[in-house]
Amino acid sequence: MSTSPSGTLVISPEQLLEDWQGHRRLTRRVIEIFPEESLFTYSLGGMRPFSVLVMEMIKMGVPILRGEITGEWRSSDLVDPSTKSELLRLWDDVTADINRMWPDIPPHRFQEIDTAFGQWKMPGYAMFLYAIDNEIHHRGQGYVYLRSLGIEPPPFYER
């Protein structure tokens, strides 16, 4: 189905894209503000450094979009970089890829249930929300890393 039984528009595809990219702009600022060494080595409670959390976000974007557009679920084979500038370059590549690929999502796929990567059974909208939510979750962890390093992160509400 491609229309709501009640006909209510909650959010359009274009608005969901802008919500995602707004979060990604904020996450980019968090990457930028990290001291280069801390980005790759600092952690709390035995958790992963922020660069590894960021690579998780980077590796999710295109594979999820490809899956929702084509039904083909293929994991990313990107190699983890070792410098902030390289990490930001990968980030910006994904930004452009998302903008380029987004209009190709067949409208019915937002509601169609698929099994992403042979494992995650959910409608397309839930898969996109999962990617966004996962980014917010890990970025929030990056905020704690920054605060404990004495660095003030950008305000959460600025996108």
Query: Which residues form the interface with a copy of itself (CB under 8 A)?
Result: 1-13, 15-16, 19, 23, 44-47, 107, 110-111, 120, 123, 125-126, 129-130, 132-134, 136-141, 143-150, 156-157
Q: Smallest gap, in angstroms, from Cβ of residue 123 to a copy of itself?
A: 8
Decide: 56 and 138 in contact? Cβ < 8 Å. Answer: yes
CA–CA distance, 57 with 98 (Å, rounded to integer): 12
Q: Smallest gap, in angstroms, from Cβ of residue 5 to a copy of itself?
A: 8
Output 69 or 81, the one with its CB closest to a copy of itself: 69
Decide: 54 and 91 in contact? Cβ < 8 Å. Answer: yes
CA–CA distance, 41 with 66 (Å, rounded to integer): 32
Q: Hunting for tokens 């929702």 — which residue is that?
A: 68
Output 78 or 129, the one with its CB closest to a copy of itself: 129
Q: Tell me the sheet residues that pair with 123.
A: 113
Output 43 or 95, the one with its CB closest to a copy of itself: 43
Q: What is the DSSP letter of 115?
A: E
Q: Smallest gap, in angstroms, from Cβ of residue 76 to a copy of itself?
A: 18
